[in-house]
């Protein structure tokens, strides 16, 4: 599986309803994200664990939906990581070269869609820089979007939604 820390901080700010993918890439160019994201069963177990810990989360269509206040984000992320571990996922397992490549490709698709929709995004690093800074200063294409605008960005660019298996 994968280290979840960079993505959890951003994903916890918004609910992530599953929508059809929006991308200009052909199916042959789609990154294989199946080894990066946990199954629907794992996510359902994690949602139950978070609920047991007092978080107001819902599980629908294979995803956890939550609206976490910024001041509680660190605590939520810690609980979420512990709940992943309880569900049998090691959130600190090192990423493989293939997983880095898949994430980089997916983030590139997100950036292309966001820029096409008129959103500002940070400059895309080289893949080597992306890998080197993934845990310390991750490149997140949607980081410059105001939290209140994230739901609209997901609507316009559903490629942002984390796939589930």
**Which of the four pLDDT bands, split at 50, 70 and 90, describes residue 163?**
low
- Mean pLDDT (the chain) is 80
pLDDT at residue 121 tops 70: yes
Return the residue matching tokens 């980089």. 104
Would you state the structure tokens that stand for residue 142, as one six-digit string?
Answer: 């949607």
Tens of pLDDT along 74-83? 999 999 999 9
Q: Worst-scoring range by mean pLDDT, 45-59, 83-97, 118-132? A: 83-97
Tens of pLDDT along 1-45? 344 444 443 443 333 332 223 333 333 356 667 667 777 888 899
For position 33, what pLDDT does the model report? Answer: 75
For position 164, what pLDDT does the model report? Answer: 53
For position 29, what pLDDT does the model report? Answer: 56
State the DSSP string of 119-161: ---PPPPPHHHHHHHTTTS---TTTTS-GGGHHHHHHH-GGGS
pLDDT at residue 129 tops 70: yes
pLDDT greater at residue 25 or residue 65: 65
Would you state the structure tokens that stand for residue 51, as one six-digit string?
Answer: 């609920």
Q: Quick one: what percent of the chain has pLDDT higher than 90?
A: 46
Please state the rounded mean pLDDT for residues 56-74. Answer: 86
Tell me the residue ranges of DSSP E strands in the chain. Answer: 57-60, 63-66
Q: Which residues contact 148 (CB under 8 A, 6 or more apart)?
A: none
């Amino acid at each position: 599986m994968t280290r979840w820390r960079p993505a959890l901080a951003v994903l916890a700010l918004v609910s992530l309803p599953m929508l059809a993918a929006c991308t200009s890439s052909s199916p042959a160019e789609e990154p294989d994200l199946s080894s990066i994201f946990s199954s629907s069963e794992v996510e359902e177990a994690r949602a139950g664990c978070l609920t047991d810990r007092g978080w107001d989360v819902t599980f629908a269509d294979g995803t956890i939906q939550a609206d976490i206040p910024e001041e509680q984000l660190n605590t939520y992320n810690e609980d979420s990581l512990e709940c992943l571990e309880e569900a049998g996922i090691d959130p600190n397992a090192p990423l493989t070269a293939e997983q880095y490549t898949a994430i980089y490709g997916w983030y590139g698709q997100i950036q292309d869609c966001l820029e096409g929709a008129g959103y500002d995004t940070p400059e895309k690093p080289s893949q080597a820089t992306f890998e080197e800074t993934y845990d310390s200063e991750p490149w997140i294409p949607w980081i410059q979007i105001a939290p209140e605008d994230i739901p609209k960005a997901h609507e316009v660019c559903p490629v942002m939604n984390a796939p589930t298996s």
